[in-house]
């Protein structure tokens, strides 16, 4: 009985936290423009359209051991995916890569947005797609007047780390996890980016 009540309370608290995150993000992303469309090596890069959301969720699940976007992120990206998620589509329009963003607590005040996850389908890797997605996001958020992009990368995720460094992220903090692997907090400064991002 006590356990059931504990679980119910946990669920209520979790829904409360989700509501707070959603409200914070709805407020912070007002006025953000849509991500401009570009081409990269035969892939179309642009903002997430509503119709892309199911395909993006499928790719997310396939890259994160079946885990889905949390409900508040689904609502946020349904409403503001065009400004908060960069997507790579192949020639047939299939979503083969994406990077998703949101404002963490405190981030909006500092004009720093957080890169929550980047993923590229296995058959499209090692051709610079993730690095390019990160460049596109940097240019987009710099143009919107933000000061930085934060990210957390495990040191043993070599592909993620290399694409972050190649797109201008620097390490700002290190934290050893309980499994012995270090998580790096990284920051992409956006001031003065206009001329130097390709």
Q: Around Cβ 197, how many Cβ atoms within 10 Å?
A: 17
Question: Which neighbouring-strand residues pair with 45?
Answer: 38, 88
Q: Give the residue with the Cβ less far from ligand COA, 145 or 172.
A: 172
Q: Which of 3-11, 33-41, 127-135, 177-185 is the region at the interface with ligand COA (rule: CB under 6 A)?
A: 127-135
Give the residue from 161, 155, 91 showing the smallest Cα distance to 130.
161
**Cβ-proximal residues to 83 (8 Å cutoff; 6+ apart), any chain:** 29, 32, 33, 34, 35, 47, 144
CB of 102 to ligand COA, least distance (A): 14
Confirm or reject binding of residue 162 to ligand COA (CB under 6 A).
yes
**Cβ-proximal residues to 84 (8 Å cutoff; 6+ apart), any chain:** 25, 29, 32, 47, 48, 76, 77, 100, 101, 102
Among 26, 55, 63, 75, binds ligand COA (CB under 6 A): 63
Size of site (CB under 6 A) for ligand COA: 20
Q: In what order do the strands lie in the sheet with 38-40?
A: 38-40, 43-47, 85-89, 95-102, 112-120, 148-154, 182-189, 170-176
Confirm or reject binding of residue 78 to ligand COA (CB under 6 A).
no
Q: Which residue has the tokens 């908060």?
A: 84
Q: Give the residue with the Cβ less far from ligand COA, 17 or 162.
A: 162
Joined tokens for residue 80? 């503001």
CB of 171 to ligand COA, least distance (A): 14
Among 47, 81, 107, 119, binds ligand COA (CB under 6 A): 119
Confirm or reject binding of residue 56 to ligand COA (CB under 6 A).
no
Stretch 21-50: interaction string toward ligand COA, x if CB under 6 A: ------------------------------
Q: Give the residue with the Cβ less far from ligand COA, 29 or 120.
A: 120
> What is the contact surface with ligand COA in residues (CB under 6 A)?
63, 117-120, 125-131, 153, 157-160, 162-163, 166
């Amino acid at each position: 009985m006590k356990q059931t009540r504990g679980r119910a309370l946990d669920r209520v608290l979790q829904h409360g936290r989700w509501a707070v995150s959603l409200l914070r993000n709805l407020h912070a992303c007002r006025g953000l423009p849509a991500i401009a469309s570009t081409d990269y090596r035969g892939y179309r890069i642009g903002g997430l359209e509503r119709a892309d959301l199911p395909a993006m969720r499928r790719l997310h699940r396939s890259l994160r051991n079946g885990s889905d976007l949390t409900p508040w992120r689904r609502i946020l990206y349904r409403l503001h995916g065009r400004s908060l998620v960069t997507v790579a589509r192949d020639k047939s329009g299939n979503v083969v890569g994406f990077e998703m963003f949101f404002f963490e607590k405190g981030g909006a005040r500092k004009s720093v947005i957080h890169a929550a996850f980047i993923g590229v389908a296995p058959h499209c890797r090692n051709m610079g797609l993730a690095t390019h997605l990160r460049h596109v996001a940097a240019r987009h958020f710099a143009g919107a007047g933000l000061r930085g992009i934060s990210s957390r990368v495990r040191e043993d995720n070599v592909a993620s780390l290399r694409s972050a460094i190649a797109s201008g992220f620097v390490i700002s903090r290190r934290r050893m996890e309980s499994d012995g692997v270090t998580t790096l907090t990284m920051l992409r400064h956006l001031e003065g980016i206009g001329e130097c991002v390709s």
